[in-house]
Amino acid sequence: MDKNLQIVLSNLEPEIDKKCFELKQKTREKRMQKLFILAIILLLFMPSTLIILNINIWVFIVGAISVIALAILIMLPIALKENARGECYE
């Protein structure tokens, strides 16, 4: 009985590894989406903070462009990534 179990486990090992990798990728993508949403929320609340602190708007604009560029660089690979079946996330 133990040999049969070992044979079954050895046959299923590639599928188990594949599923673990898929779960890790989903977790990573969700973490990146949360980070992106946090960056957008911060971007929305920054103007009011600048007004309260009396900081020049041009400093905010340069910072906002930097944050947007960074968000695009982070999210672009996820958006363009294709999975093994050839489907594309859009």
List Cβ<8 Å contacts ≥24 apart for 59-67. 67/39, 67/42, 67/43
> Domain residues of the chain, as ranges?
2-80
Q: Helix, strand, coil: what percent of the chain each, to 5?
A: 85, 0, 15
pTM of the model: 0.48
Residue whose token pair is 């599923």: 19
Rounded Cα distance between 41 and 57, Å, is 18
CB 32 within 8 A of CB 78: yes
pLDDT, one tens digit per residue, over 36-84 is: 898 888 888 877 787 788 878 787 788 889 988 988 888 887 777 754 4
